[in-house]
Structure 1
């Protein structure tokens, strides 16, 4: 099946009022193509699987939230410059706590951007189930196609489930097409996330020996197709969720043991078979991490990029320069808005490179509730009067700060008061935090600087493994060894040996995860599964910089804004009220 062969089969399906169900018709409205015709034609069999993929396009991540914002703008790591806009944009509506069962600020009104995943992904699951019900007797071009298509549809179905469950909580695993006359109110939600994790593991056990399902995609014409690598990471993610505090109130260590073992197996299998490894270009030195996010995935048996597991199919940044226009800074000259700007909370998370020590105490970074009084980590080497010197190289790859050089417009960024790109609350082209975004934006290019957004990458395995190992056995050498590849790639020393308690290491790993995965839509779900939303999402801060001399500045922390989306009910998104009308009130999440 080639991605360029797309048969829409218009009229083959109808989407019911409930997002979770599609009715599979025996004959299309024009009377010309029966479903028997579909499964008797190899090209149409392949095309049907292609239609199952189409639900993925409803939410492609990246900067496609309304309007051209990253989802992590609703977390403590970023603050969007649209916060004061009168229109109902994702940032300002989320900050006001506007989420309800009838309104989700993270949905874009345009279907081609990040829209209603609840409806779309249930429809995608339905398409996978119809395909799996028919593939055993369907016509295919080559003997190996049937095995690959079948395994691929199962991975795709698992992908849809993981996206739904991390947002809305555990969903019933349905493996057969639900007919139109079904009593949907009788569907019961799982009692725990472990049922979802067990489902993911069962799927892996069934497909791990399917030789036709590849470990990685090596042909550009097959970009976006599911692989064993995707399934292994989904399995690791699901078990990590099942073991986390939101779903593991009794702290069952057996769940953490599974999370460790699944993740370790994923690393071993992918390192051996798919030859996955962290992206590293020796010629770039410390810029290797930055360059990875400016490099599009390449497809061959021996790719340069061996880290990416899944990458966006399209991005408007690549087409018309929206990454410049919508996520730039005034000194670029053509930026329409600053977009998702790093917060002081994120900046504080980057360690000092020379010592490898945190800037602030990981477990209690601030002495006050407003985050204006930092609790400095002893001996790190951090200088509050020169705050951006000597930091983790990932800081320079993620954040544009006062004095940073941007070669595209060939300027030094001026975020101090009165500077060309300084704070300004009345103009969305200016930062609200004192910082601008660098990650995913090529600073060497002024026009069309965006690159494809990474959805899944090999680095996550190491972070998952370190977290599970610490929850099982505390801050042992195994935790530091799990993090070694990530720290080494970043040109950072090993995790400090002085971190000696499970609680302190937990806080350190949560910080490290934020630094490594910033802007990749992980923080949104991480703070929920850790059940720390009330500690991270009440407010964010920035840095007000005043020029005191030719090259001297003073630095003052300030509260950028307080938010209203941190209560326990926000740990899970509400099931849309249109679905509750069909499924019943027992389906709704707590607090909604």
Structure 2
């Protein structure tokens, strides 16, 4: 049925192509239950599949992954043609016919299909689709339309908001559309999500045998209301970013707001805090952080005797399709995805292994900067910054971090998890549990059960090194490990796009702008830390002091978020909306010396230079600018 669906998005002045005459008409599709439900399913098609960030260059509608992980300072793809490099070296332009063009085209396709569904679902006969189903499905389509607008604005900045249901018959002169303002975009997104909540979304879509898991419900809509308001309140969108102060439509309409007053800033963040409180008060029993023992069996809380922080965190961010109903912290996700591609990118290319199912490409290397960001087991940061050369770390002596030497014994958790085997470098010992769940380092045991559990070796001549890798090797001497599990690389995983800690961090950020001493702020900060198995701030054993001023608290929130939501597609956008992209992205990233063996490998080395000066947003595709004379380009392109 999806193949029979009508109307795909094209250029901005002709968003919709003519429907081939040999396909079903819209009226015919909505005469059957299967046709209507199939059309609704197609509306969901363009939800991002962020497991496939290696192949974001594919020239096709569908899936809409972004380059976000390797286009931040978290990771680096070894592949020279990876699209993230266009952002990192400041060569992305409006003529890009793949990534720039197809994110825009796909999300506007989703918007149009949502529009068409809303306009036509009431035509379905009552004996095919009940009145209550029409109401619910229409609300789902309305929410999806708003979510696609959010993705567009997050990626391209303010875009034209289509207030009418344009079709392929709309005259061209009526489609010379200007960009809507920042406030028009975000107000529309929030209004539409709230309307969908009030007009038919289920409280919990999992209770619907037809729509089921993965469909939009009130909680998911609330999460996107929070996301939208968080972006709107941030530096990039609230008028503080002078880079876009002059961006205006042809009629002179400024697209970004004027520089806000302190009262306006506080008011904007209060809206975020209020919506977060609504989410937590309404859905706080449904969504909970995962707490398990070392075997993955759910336990009551972090206070349980057999609680294991490593496995709890790993289960919270990684879920098999067969276990998705048991994950209590994932909110929004994509079930159909490219898990195999993600697993290949993150699994070591170990030449000792002949079975291709247990051997990957070593393609996505974690940067030294991200490795340094993880805390020690005492909750302190090991590295406080870097010397003037950008490579030499400023070591926090109080943390107990040691850069050189090797461990003489296994470093294990209280429940017996081997975090760092004997012989591992000391720089990888005594780190927090999330470090071992997220990072594969040289000298670490790959997950038990994968062809015997080999010790990874990324040195030049090592089993996973550049000598044997040809084009498949880690360019940083590390691999991103997050989402991976024991066994082969063909496991059916859920691509989680939003989970409960996303809400926690938005709430903490909002509260920091309102009252950095708020008990609610520290409640959720410490909930994340306690689940991570490290000391909390101001309470519990070995408590760390709580900073009191807003700037110090915000800095702490950023550090904590970088770890908890590492490699989850937030940092790329966070540093932009915070106004910190130039500080973190306009410089080289580092790793180990992958061209050396032995001790010479464990020398911090530059991987590649990066440049940032205009890449807050993607450019508007040039093809859209050429056709729609009222569509202005982003500053800098």
> Which of 511, 525, 539 is the equivalent residue of 2:588?
539
| Offset at residue 379 of structure 1 (A) | 1.8
Go from structure 1 to structure 2 and tell me whether the alpha carbon gap of 1:415 and 1:220 turns closer, same or farther (over 3 Å shift): farther
Q: Decide which of 364, 387, 393 is 1:367's aligned counterpart.
A: 387
Question: Corresponding residue for 1:112?
Answer: none
Query: Structure 2 residue aligned with 1:117, among 103, 107, 110?
Result: 103
- Which residue is 1:557 aligned to? 604
Q: Name the SS for the 2:503 alignment partner.
A: helix
Higher mean Cα deviation, 258-267 or 35-44?
35-44
User: CA separation in 1, counterparts of 2:329 and 2:87?
Assistant: 33
1:290 aligns with 2:330: no
In structure 2, what is the Cα distance between the partners aligned to 1:299 and 1:175? Answer: 40
Q: RMSD over aligned Cα, in angstroms?
A: 3.1
Confirm whether residue 323 of structure 1 aligns to residue 309 of structure 2.
no
- CA pair 330-488 structure 1, distance change in 2 beyond 3 A: same
Specify whether residues 70 and 338 from structure 1 end up closer, same or farther in structure 2 by C-alpha distance, changes over 3 A only: farther
Distance 2:517 2:600 in 1: 39
Aligned to 1:387: 427
Residue 381 of structure 2: aligned partner: 358
Choose the corresponding residue for 2:78, options 76, 81, 104: 81
SS at match of 1:183: helix
Q: 1:387 to 1:143 in 2, by over 3 A?
A: same
Which of the numbers 539, 547, 551 marks the counterpart of 1:503? Answer: 551
Kindly indicate whether the alpha-carbon contact (under 8 Å) linking 2:442 and 2:459 is maintained by their aligned counterparts in 1: yes
Relative to 1, partners in 2 of residues 1:151 and 1:67: Cα closer, same or farther, differing over 3 Å?
closer
Give the direction of change, closer, same or farther, for the CA distance of 1:33–1:454 in structure 2 (3 Å limit): closer
Structure 1 equivalent of residue 572 of structure 2: 524
Deviation sequence 1:223-270 (CA, Å, 0-9, x none) = 432222221111111111011111121362111111111122122222
Work out the CA distance in 2 between the residues paired with 1:533 and 1:19: 33
1:45 counterpart residue number:
36
- 1:290 deviates by 1.5
Deviations, residues 468-503 of structure 1 (Å, cap 9, x unaligned)? 111222354332212222222211222442433322
Q: Give the secondary-structure state (helix, strand or coil) at the position aligned to 2:377.
A: coil
State whether structure 2 residue 92 is matched by structure 1 residue 99: yes
Instruction: Tell me the TM-score normalised to structure 2 length.
Output: 0.79
Return 5+ residue gaps in structure 1 as ranges: 1-5, 108-114
Would you say 1:438 and 2:428 are equivalent positions?
no
1:329 to partner: Cα distance: 3.2
**1:128-277 alignment to 2 at 5 Å?**
128-140=114-126, 141-179=129-167, 180-183=170-173, 186-192=176-182, 194-210=183-199, 213-218=202-207, 219=209, 222-248=212-238, 249=240, 250=260, 252-272=265-285, 275-277=286-288
In 1, Cα distance between equivalents of 2:30 and 2:344: 46
Deviations 1:326-363 (A, max 9, x none): 74333563445311111111111111122x122233xx
**Structure 2 CA distance for partners of 1:268 and 1:425, relative to 1, 3 Å:** farther
Query: For residue 111 of structure 1, what is the aligned residue in structure 2?
Result: none
Q: Deviations over 1:345-402 (max 9, x none)?
A: 1111111122x122233xxx2232x431323335222222321112121110000112
Instruction: Pick closer, same or farther for the CA change 1:429–1:65 going to 2, 3 Å.
Output: closer
Task: Specify the SS of the correspondent of 2:606.
Answer: strand
**Matching residue of 2:301:** none
CA 1:479/1:265 → structure 2, altered by over 3 Å: closer, same or farther?
same
Q: In structure 2, what is the equivalent of residue 63 of structure 1?
A: 52
Instruction: Report the count of equivalent residues.
Output: 552
**Is the Cα contact below 8 Å between 2:459 and 2:601 reproduced in 1?**
no
Aligned pair partner of 1:281 in 263, 272, 292: 292
Q: Structure 2 vs 1, CA of residues 438 and 336 (structure 1 numbering), >3 Å: closer, same or farther? A: closer
